[in-house]
Structure formats: C-alpha cells, structure tokens
Amino acid sequence: MENTKELYAQMGINETVYACAKKAEEALKDKFLKIDEVAEYNQLKVVKAMQECMVGEACLLGTTGYGYNDIGRETLEKVYAHVFHTEDALVRPQITCGTHALALALSANLRPGDEVLSPVGKPYDTLEEVIGIRPSKGSLAEYGITYAQVDLLDNDAFDHEGIKKALNEKTKLVTIQRSKGYANRRSFGVKQIGELISFIKSIRPDVICMVDNCYGEFVETIEPTDVGADLCVGSLIKNPGGGLAPIGGYIVGKKEYVENCAYRLTSPGLGKEVGASLGILSPFYQGFFLSPTVVASALKSAIFASYLLDGLGFSVLPTPTEDRHDIIQAVTFGTPEGVIAFCKGIQAGAPVDSYVTPEPWDMPGYDSDVIMAAGCFVSGSSIELSADGPMKEPYNVYFQGGLTYPHGKFGIMKAVNQLLEDGVIGIQDLKNMI
C-alpha cells in the first residue's frame, strides 16, 4: 500500500531499506505459515486447559494479606500444570524474574553435599553467581553444593561420553538451558532435550532433570515436560506472560519438586497456601491466553531479522532457513559500533522511550558491560521488542520479542536503517539484496 510506504518514510525508514523488507517478507511466506499453524495448535491447547480447569470471573480477582484460599491463584496453577502436562505448578508474582525462578528451583531441591551438573556448557551469565562459578553472597557454593560442567562438542552436539563420566553419586540435579543465552551455540529443540534426558536417566534414573525454558514456551507444540523433564522453569515477562504480566515466574513439574520450591519461596509449613495475588491475576490469565500468538509474532520478527542481516553479510544464528526452538535471534557484528548501532535502532522503534539512546553499562549479574535496548510497557520485558548484548568479542547482539509482527518488523527496519546511518553498512549493501 502506497500510504503505508509513505508512513514508513515519515518514520525515518530509507526507501531502499523498505524495498529489502518487502523482498524478505515475500521470501518468508512459507515460514510464516508454519509458525501460524503452531500458534493455532498452542492457542487451542491453552483454551482447552482454561475451560477444563473452569476458569471463571472470580479467578480474575485477587487477594491481599496472607492470600489464603485464593481461588484465582490456585486455578491458574492448575491451568499451567494442564498445559505443561505436569503434576503441579507454582506461578507467582513473588517470583521476580527468570533467574530468581531458577535459583529457587535449584536451592529448593539441592542440599549440602549435592552436585549440580550442566551438560550443555556454561549457563547464562546471571546463573554464574547463583551457582557460585563467580563468588557471590548466598550462592549454592556457600552452602556446600558443588558444580560440574560438560561442554558441548564443536558441532553443538552433546558430549555423551563426557556426561557419563561426570554423572556420579553426588549428582542430584542436571540443569539444561534450552536457549543459547549469550553463548555462540544453537538453541535446543524439545526433541533434542528429550533425547538428552533419556540418556541421563538411563545412567541415573533418580537424578532430577530441570530445564531452563526461558524464551522457548509455545515455540513448538510440545514442551520439555512432555519429553521427560522433572522440572521446567521460566519467566512471565518472557513468552508465557504474553506481554501483559507485569512480573512473575513459573515452575512446573513433579509434585514433590514443585512443593519443595513453594516451601523455599514462602516458608516451611506454609508452601503454596500463602502468597496474595494482589489484583494482578487478570493479566496473568490474559497474557497466558495471548501467549501463543504473541510468540508467533516474535518468531516472525526474528526470522525477518535473520533474513535481512544474513543478506547484509553478517553471521546469524539461527539462519533464515533453520528450525526455531526459541524466540532469540543472534547476530555477530564483530565490532562494538555494530552492536551499539543496532540497539539504537531497536530503541528508536519502541513505543516507550523511543527518544532514549541506549549505552553499555555495568549491569548486575554480568561479567562485562552490557547494552540493552528495550522500550517496553513492562520494564525489561523480553517478549516485547528488545535487543541486548555483552560488549566483548565477538560482539554479538541478541534480538527477541515483538508483541505484534508489524511492530517487530518496524523495529528491525529501524535497526537496519541505523546501521546505514552510522556507516556500519553502505547503501550498496542494501541494493545488492534487492
């Protein structure tokens, strides 16, 4: 539509960037169709769970104080357990973020003398202090819990022989990070995770297999708990919150392990019986309801970004043709200027704080300066249009989110436009794509 093209121009999009975007969309039609098919299945799965758990208007209200007999909170946890096909669930605003949910699950199910094993290499940066890889107050290491790690092979495959050797009588819990985080590797599909869990259980049937599911919910039609995960953990300001949840995290899995988490979150003897919902259950429910289609928008935005940046000669992971297992798109710029320009463009495309210029800073939990672009309705929400990366070689940026595909598309176009304006790419690079 000509008037749409004019509006893009009014919002600062170069005509050649617009032409490249149109070509990208034409090339990605089949990919987008498959994403919509997965979203349809997952949408029905969520509606079915809400209907069978008898979600009613009273569930959307909240409690205060101790939060005893909170029907909305209890029903929401039944909905999560239903969707993830688990025995129990803990879904609470008192879980502040994904790192908190993971720390909670680890500390609740490990005791002094136990060992936690990561068979997928180094975990996400913020977990290093939780575990004690980097010394920190209150880490697992301070409580006498040890850590072991098996790195992936060069082709991102699991080192089965190394894992077999690492599993020992002290190993109590295995933590599997689905998303790549800030690592230069592919994210794992649910089938891959299931194969890894089966291998671990064949050696140690009693070990707890926990999956960090952040950024992966509803990307596929099945979840890690469908393929043997004992615990699955995530954040509500990522995929399952649908952009509406203002805070929160979830833990789903076997009843014993989820109950341990509840007792650690509140208090021994209290567990899941307390924890007021404070009037925010409605966005928890509605966000979960919207999540399948919001995730689909984020996936389309990620593939759109991958196509454009791959065409401009940057290394992208995943590539435009690869299957997707989370919403994250990694791009290697090789220079700090490229990372900064990209993040400036994403911020400029945001509905909130579009006038702000992101700068690298010493962010808590990270071992280097980090730049983050996130003009979000919910602070730091990474299901919304956002991008971030550590300011260190090889200078990767990680793009994720987009509550709607049109907005995700615009944000990426602004980022490419900024790369052009800052001289990271030239106009001929863009013309070569058309």
Please report, for the chain, the start and end positions of each structural domain, with discontinuous segments joined by +. 2-42+289-431, 64-278
- pLDDT digit string (tens) for 273-298? 999 999 999 999 999 999 999 999 99
Give the alpha-carbon dihedral of 143, 210, 364, 327, to 10 degrees.
180
How far is it, in rounded angstroms, from Cα 168 to Cα 163? 10
What pLDDT, on the 0 to 100 scale, is given for residue 367? 75
Closest by CA to 310, choosing from 343, 292, 332, is: 332
| % of the chain with per-residue pLDDT over 90 | 94
Q: What is the pTM of this model?
A: 0.95
Contacts of 157 (CB under 8 A, 6+ apart): none
**Is 163 in a helix, a strand, or coil?**
helix
Instruction: Kindly tell me if the per-residue pLDDT of 181 is higher than 90.
Output: no
Using the predicted structure, report yes or no on whether residue 57 has a pLDDT greater than 90.
yes
Kindly indicate the confidence band of residue 368, based on its pLDDT and cuts at 50, 70 and 90.
confident
Instruction: Say what the pLDDT of residue 366 is.
Output: 75
pLDDT tens, position by position, 192-211: 999 999 999 999 999 999 99
CATH topology of domain 2-42+289-431: Aspartate Aminotransferase, domain 1 (3.90.1150)
Ranking 26-40, 156-170, 219-233, 367-381 by mean pLDDT, the lowest is 367-381
Query: 151 pLDDT band (50/70/90 cuts)?
Result: very high
Residue 31 has pLDDT above 60, yes or no: yes
User: Which CATH code, of 3.40.640.10, 3.30.565.10, 3.40.50.300, 3.40.50.970, is assigned to 64-278?
Assistant: 3.40.640.10
pLDDT confidence tier of residue 363, bands split at 50, 70 and 90: confident
Q: pLDDT averaged over the chain?
A: 96
pLDDT tens per residue across span 298-330:
999 999 999 999 999 999 999 999 999 999 999
pLDDT mean over 407-429: 97
Instruction: Answer yes or no: is pLDDT of 1 > 70.
Output: no
**Looking at the predicted structure, is the pLDDT value of residue 2 above 80?**
no
What pLDDT is recorded for position 184?
A: 80
The mean pLDDT value for 135-148 works out to 96
Residue type, 125: D
